Amino acid sequence: MRLAQTAAFGSALLLAIAYVFEALGYAPCQMCLWQRYPHGFAVLIGIAILITPKRGLIGLGAFASFTTAGIGVFHSGVEQKWWDGPTSCSNKTNSLSGVSGEDLLSTNVIDKIVMCDEISWAFMSLSMPTWNAIISALLGMIWVTSFVRLGSN
């Protein structure tokens, strides 16, 4: 159980870091937000495990971690232009469809749009989604290790 709680804490820490970056002015794109949901789910699972330690919950925790890792890999590929991302947050078109006249006249509409295919921050040449993918995959392995250990007892 301790391993599962460690993995859940890891997700909580990643969420906290994401919110700190947001507070520092790094607004998240749509895909960044998608990566947060499984972490929130993993944190809730970690809390549930404190109340009722069930092997199935640990499996769900692993699923959540590997889900956000997968989204992170996809997002990293979009940033590197290996494949197309969602049209709602990628620079692959100059279309104005879906933008109202009021938005076009607004002076701050550009500040609201964060592109998924642009790297806003990197450490050691790896973007935030790439770091999320790596760390989340490691957290997923911790969840799986906890799952296996609980099954062997």
Return the pLDDT at 82: 93
Return the pLDDT at 12: 98
Domain covering 2-85+97-152 in this structure, CATH number: 1.20.1550
Give average pLDDT by consecutive 10-residue segment, the chain, 153 residues.
93 97 92 96 96 92 98 95 86 58 59 80 92 98 94 68
Return the pLDDT at 67: 98
End-to-end CA distance of the chain: 12
What residues contact residue 110 under an 8 Å CB cut-off, 6+ apart?
Answer: none
How far is 130 from 72, CA to CA, in rounded Å?
Answer: 6
Return the pLDDT at 94: 53
* Residue the block writes with tokens 């993918």: 133
Return the pLDDT at 150: 84
